[in-house]
Amino acid sequence: MLLQIQNLHVKYGNIEVLHGVSVDVREGEIVSILGANGAGKSTTLLTISGLVRPAQGQILFNGAPLHTMKAHDIVRAGIAHIPEGRRMFGTLTVQENLRLGAFTSNDQQRIRQNQEWIYELFPILKERRNQLAGTLSGGEQQMLAIGRGLMIHPKILLLDEPSLGLAPLLVKTIFQTLQKINAAGVTVVLVEQNARMALKIAHRGYVLEVGRIALQDEANALLANPDVQNAYLGGA
């Protein structure tokens, strides 16, 4: 198992927001984590990437404890986190933002190869490589956020709400590109409000409800589940 979250409890101050969450991610999978606002989806990703510390439980990456590592060492280990809201450096160019994504690497050839791969995935970024990130459209900024995360050629890509605020056509493009990234050998953990789109590209999914795993199954089974349809897919 590539990533194992075991009995994870997370608190913000005295308030516990995750109550014993367990999630398994196999190498090569896309795993979607679904749930309403406040269910604990973003907190789960933040804890994997070391930005939030668990009160209890453990996170294992290839069997090694991840929850005791510092955030920058987790990036070095091969886990990239694309947070909700994109978090661009607006006064830097597209190219400069991408280079910042490779801060853990000194291998210039590898950096160039990764950059070319990202420009293949997102040709519009190549066209705009000398443009300030703050002047890009929302969709282009999301592509840049994903590209920046890919600059370390991660083993696992953690994505938080990549479709947020995007037009439907752009959402389709982003999700198709996620499938290409996965086909290139990158395991994906996807937190997404657009449950239908997320489950269509995922292998398996988990449903979080108020900090607990309410359901877990193959993605096709979750898409067909009446409870999931009513709660997250707007009915059948």
- Residue 70 in this model has a pLDDT that exceeds 90: yes
Whether 96 is covered by a domain: the verdict is no
Q: What angle do CA 152, 134, 137 make, to 5 degrees?
A: 90
User: Domain total for the chain?
Assistant: 1
Position 201 scores a pLDDT of 97
Position 147 scores a pLDDT of 96
Q: How many CB atoms lie within 10 A of CB 113?
A: 12
Structural domain boundaries enclosing 28: 1-78+154-164+188-236
Whether 147 is covered by a domain: the verdict is no
Whether 54 is covered by a domain: the verdict is yes
The domain that contains 57 carries what CATH number?
3.40.50.300
- Residue 152 in this model has a pLDDT that exceeds 70: yes
Lowest-confidence region among 100-114, 140-154, 198-212: 100-114
CA dist., res. 48 & res. 44, Å (int): 6
Whether 51 is covered by a domain: the verdict is yes
> Alpha-carbon Rg of the chain, whole angstroms?
17
- Residue 235 in this model has a pLDDT that exceeds 70: no
Whether 87 is covered by a domain: the verdict is no
Whether 213 is covered by a domain: the verdict is yes
Please give the average per-residue pLDDT across 107-135, as a whole number: 94
Q: Give the tens place of pLDDT for each residue, 82-96.
A: 998 778 888 999 999
- Residue 173 in this model has a pLDDT that exceeds 60: yes
Interacting residues of 65 by C-beta distance below 8 A, sequence separation 6+: 58, 59
Per residue in 78-110, is it b (16+ CB within 10 Å) or e — as a string? Answer: bbbbbbbebebeeeebbbebbeebbeeeeeeee
**Short-list 201, 210, 93, 216, CA closest to 157:** 201
- Residue 231 in this model has a pLDDT that exceeds 90: no
Whether 118 is covered by a domain: the verdict is no
- Residue 236 in this model has a pLDDT that exceeds 80: no
For the record, the structure tokens of 214 come out as 């309410």
Length of the chain counted residue by residue = 236
Q: Give the tens place of pLDDT for each residue, 182-229.
A: 999 999 999 998 899 999 999 999 999 999 999 999 999 999 999 898
Whether 194 is covered by a domain: the verdict is yes
**C-beta separation of 195 from 233 below 8 A:** yes
First to last CA, the chain: 33
Secondary structure letter of residue 53 according to DSSP: -
